[in-house]
Structure 1
Amino acid sequence: MDFADLSRPFVIAHRGGALQVPEHTMEGYRVAVGQGLPVIEQDVSTLADGGLGVMHDGTVDRMTTSSGNVADHTSVSWKQLDIDASATLGGGWPDGLRPPLFDEVLTEFGNRVLLCAEAKSSDAMGPMIDALDRRGVSPASVLLQSFALADCRLARSRGWDVIWLGSTDVDRATVEGIRWIGPMADRVTATVCARAHAVGVEVACHTVNRRHQRDALVADGVDALFSDDPVYVAGDAGLRTSDLFARQVWLPGMLPDTGRGRFHPEDSSWGCDASDAVGSTLMGFLAPPDPAAFTLDLDLRVDETRAEPAGCGGSVLLSTDDHPYRPPGTSPGAHGYLVLLRGDGNVQVHRVTDGVATVLASSTGGTTLPKGTYVPLRITVTGSGLSVRAGTVGGTVTVADVSHRPVPVVHLGSVRAGVRFRNVEVA
């Protein structure tokens, strides 16, 4: 497949899909390709011996167990670095992964997968093109990238398509023979896209990790979207199994509203620590089969509370789309229902409108939750309302409210409490 063959808009796996896999690793690229993603991105810098290393940052500090500048490494020392995968992505990925050389990427993926490679250092574009030529990679299967106009000119002079990153200057791009511009998502407008398309220039925006952002950008007319969570943004993330956290890896659409929480391998759970004053994480993979009428079952435990139990607990937000939810009062665009299982065993149901939560109903007479013990929670959504049952500790709360339908999106989190979730399933 060539870039010309892709239906527009298409999704580019930014850094290989950095919210799901160890970014810019061969192992991460293999997962992305195995998921059916057609385009993987690389950030390429020149090393001290003229080799080309693949890493986003100018230093190795964030992604490896070492420190120092990328440019100070040789090709040999580059392959001795350890990617600190478990620190960035949970315990499901082993440590000891190595950052790749660009030649390794071309050997395994060249002419097999579409590549979108950025010249990250100022002297990288020429050597990148040399490497592509040397490996016999088809120009039709590669989009180069750079923020520097000089790099874009070099790429075009040697017959390679290139994305001029950060630019909305359609007129200049046309003069230079550049067929792609790559503005940040917040600079995209329908007018920019229309002007670009009128002169044969395409628009690839970065970085898009939420579907509500994607939908607005597609409506504006973008041709490609860079995403750290490409499977979710492409729309293929639905899962309904009961062991969602058993692999202890980040799933498609598992995105931070306030934090990503962490995995607990001892009981195949995921949760938030009490040190998070308010925690909320999107579970974008958890798609109800009928978002207007469904049942959500999960096991929830409260390990620690930071205040009186009546004001703390585990939370479930059912929302109309995937706007982040960052209570209190800072979540414009978020609409739905917030269910709180409090530390005192009682259940509260809130209606959330434009990010503001209003209590609709509360149970009374609940039993204080024993720390470290899971409580089965069942939330049932119907055409006339919703009900919540918290095992034997909090009774059942029923609310007659249809302000927000459908509610296809699930967020899990905590309010001033350390909580864990497992056995999450919708039906």
Structure 2
Amino acid sequence: MPFDPTYPAATWAELADLSAPRWIAHRGGRFMAPENTIEAFRMAAELGIDAIEIDVYLLQDGGLIVSHDSTATRTSNLTGPTGGLTTPAVLRGRVDAGNWFCDSWPNDLHIPLFVDVLAELGGLVPLVVHCNNAGSGAAAVAAVQRHERADSVLIMAWNETELAAARAAGIPTILLDEDGTLNGQTYAGLLAAGTEYIGLNPALTPVASIEAAAAAGLKVIVYTVNRRSDYAALPLDAVWAVISDDPWHAKATEPMRTRDIFSAQTYFHGMLGIVDGKEDRGFFQAPAWFGLDTSGTRHADNLGYLGVMQGYLGPLPSAFTIDFDFVLDVADSTGASLQLTLTTGDVEYDDDVTTGGARAAGYNILVRSNGSVDIFKTCGGTTAATKLGGTTGATLVPGTVYHLRVQVTAGQITATRTTVSNPASVTVTDSSYRGDMYPHLGVRDVKARWSNLAVS
């Protein structure tokens, strides 16, 4: 039976009646569930998303697979060009989500065909169908017409050739144009050709170009906006809709929780990693542990650093306490550490600035394998961090559960290991950053786990 929750909009006409900006789950919400799977689409619909974006490729026998990459390797147990597959090959394949998305997910999810998505969600929630290879646009339109879902679909592509069939059928279309240059086209020309929507990347498109496209009469859909700070920087009066990998986090303004939900054994809203982590956002261990691993040679290209923001806890108030249990399972050296980083805003924090990362402004509390606890202040960009203070403590025993408490007041920060016979505690005086702060968990040259993470 098709999944059948209550949707805020079922057709594009109903979507247009919603207040701007509308929110579209990119690949079904790929930071929350394995991208382009029925499971991701069900999740997005259950959580009340306005619309869902999916990717399709035309197969050798005329079928349509739902998949993002030009090759099948990254997200499935199949190999070779995606468009070189056949429908039977797709049916025998599986999405091996436990290998690339999250270790707690199974490796035998079905690879959806486009007809599966239309049967499951068509007519219940609007779909943005990204047509990726030659002929996929016409094939998608034919499938939509067979299922009588033309009123609930928007066809998207990088070129007008793949939009032609949709335009002829009266189905709305969106042309992707990453930086707003239009490749020699004009806004008036796009509108005259029948394209109502334009997709722009705000990281590459100037605000003036976004505003100009909207002023010309195009409905601007921006992609891919995953952080609240990036959303806040948009010219919202000019934005018709926002595509996001985690729209539930990006559109929120208040903390979603005051403690972790690691017992769910999968990612929660706002658990965003770093670019150099190549989408490594950690692992889960029953019953309620979340972990990161850069031991040995893992992430050596990022100087052994990996971090994941716990965005559901932010923004933090001006004064707060953070508690968590932690375990160091493996440490490469006495100076190797697990870290709690507090940044101003939900920005990316990367402790390796030699490869283009940014430390962001805030504080970094390090618990080293030799037992010392250090507090640093970071000023953003590639500026060196300033050590505010530190203390020594008993060497950490691998596999042992410890506890850290970090207390932030108007003028001080105190970090204390509370579960040792002689608690290691350090207090520093600094009031540079307060309010609108977000916590990140990080590691350098260790394999570590956290549990019972709570804000009070």
The TM tier, using the shorter chain, reads over 0.9
CA contact (8 A) 1:66 1:81 kept: yes
C-alpha distance in 2 between matches for 1:119 and 1:138 = 15
Match of 1:57 in 2: 69
CA contact (8 A) 1:363 1:394 kept: no
C-alpha distance in 2 between matches for 1:184 and 1:118 = 15
Match of 1:337 in 2: 363
Q: 1:269 to 1:206 in 2, by over 3 A?
A: same
- Report the Cα offset of residue 371 of structure 1: 1.3
- Report the Cα offset of residue 407 of structure 1: 4.5
Deviations 1:117-139 (A, max 9, x none): 01111101112112112211142
Whether 2:115 is the aligned partner of 1:103: answer yes
C-alpha distance in 1 between matches for 2:267 and 2:318 = 27
1:268 aligned partner, one-letter code? A
1:375 aligned partner, one-letter code? Y
SS of the residue 2:364 aligns to = strand
- Report the Cα offset of residue 240 of structure 1: 3.0
Equivalent residues, number = 422
Pick one of 273, 285, 292 that aligns with 1:265. 285
Q: 1:328 to 1:67 in 2, by over 3 A?
A: closer
SS of the residue 1:285 aligns to = helix
Match of 1:279 in 2: 306
Structure 2 residues not aligned, in runs of 5+ = 1-8
Match of 1:150 in 2: 161
C-alpha distance in 1 between matches for 2:112 and 2:448 = 38
CA contact (8 A) 1:84 1:95 kept: yes
SS of the residue 2:234 aligns to = helix
Deviations 1:194-214 (A, max 9, x none): 222222101112222222222
Match of 1:389 in 2: 416
- Report the Cα offset of residue 31 of structure 1: 0.9
Q: 1:36 to 1:218 in 2, by over 3 A?
A: farther
C-alpha distance in 2 between matches for 1:322 and 1:390 = 26
Deviations 1:218-262 (A, max 9, x none): 458332222222222222884436552222212221111243353
Match of 2:6 in 1: none
Q: 1:239 to 1:3 in 2, by over 3 A?
A: closer
CA contact (8 A) 2:23 2:242 kept: yes
- Report the Cα offset of residue 92 of structure 1: 2.8
SS of the residue 1:255 aligns to = coil
Whether 2:348 is the aligned partner of 1:320: answer no
C-alpha distance in 1 between matches for 2:284 and 2:201 = 36
Q: 1:3 to 1:68 in 2, by over 3 A?
A: same
CA contact (8 A) 2:408 2:414 kept: yes
Bigger Cα displacement from structure 2, 38-47 vs 252-261: 252-261
C-alpha distance in 2 between matches for 1:204 and 1:87 = 32
Pick one of 362, 368, 376 that aligns with 2:390. 362
C-alpha distance in 1 between matches for 2:436 and 2:446 = 25
Structure 1 residues not aligned, in runs of 5+ = none
Pick one of 267, 277, 280 that aligns with 1:250. 267
C-alpha distance in 2 between matches for 1:51 and 1:318 = 48
C-alpha distance in 2 between matches for 1:51 and 1:43 = 13
1:232 aligned partner, one-letter code? H
Match of 2:207 in 1: 190
1:343 aligned partner, one-letter code? S
Deviations 1:19-48 (A, max 9, x none): 221111111110111111121111111122
CA contact (8 A) 2:56 2:136 kept: yes
C-alpha distance in 2 between matches for 1:130 and 1:280 = 45
Whether 2:364 is the aligned partner of 1:353: answer no
2:347 aligned partner, one-letter code? H
Match of 1:114 in 2: 126
C-alpha distance in 2 between matches for 1:83 and 1:303 = 30
CA contact (8 A) 2:259 2:313 kept: no
Pick one of 188, 204, 208 that aligns with 2:221. 204
Match of 1:3 in 2: 15
C-alpha distance in 2 between matches for 1:238 and 1:249 = 19
**What root-mean-square deviation, in Å, do the aligned CA atoms of Structure 1 and Structure 2 show?**
2.1
Whether 2:117 is the aligned partner of 1:93: answer no
SS of the residue 2:95 aligns to = coil
C-alpha distance in 2 between matches for 1:199 and 1:239 = 38
C-alpha distance in 2 between matches for 1:26 and 1:134 = 20
- Report the Cα offset of residue 174 of structure 1: 2.5
Deviations 1:249-300 (A, max 9, x none): 1222111124335324245312222234112111112236x52111111012
Bigger Cα displacement from structure 2, 342-351 vs 87-96: 87-96
2:58 aligned partner, one-letter code? T
2:162 aligned partner, one-letter code? D
- Report the Cα offset of residue 410 of structure 1: 0.7
SS of the residue 1:338 aligns to = strand
Match of 1:180 in 2: 197
C-alpha distance in 1 between matches for 2:59 and 2:85 = 6
SS of the residue 1:111 aligns to = coil
CA contact (8 A) 2:29 2:244 kept: yes
C-alpha distance in 2 between matches for 1:88 and 1:165 = 27
SS of the residue 1:376 aligns to = strand
Pick one of 47, 53, 58 that aligns with 1:35. 47
- Report the Cα offset of residue 11 of structure 1: 2.2
- Report the Cα offset of residue 68 of structure 1: 2.3
Whether 2:425 is the aligned partner of 1:408: answer no
Deviations 1:83-133 (A, max 9, x none): 101112223322211111111111121111010001111101112112112
C-alpha distance in 2 between matches for 1:360 and 1:3 = 51
Percent identical pairs in the alignment equals 33
Match of 1:67 in 2: 79
Pick one of 29, 33, 37 that aligns with 1:21. 33
SS of the residue 1:217 aligns to = coil
2:147 aligned partner, one-letter code? R
Pick one of 230, 251, 267 that aligns with 2:247. 230
Match of 2:3 in 1: none
C-alpha distance in 2 between matches for 1:422 and 1:218 = 39
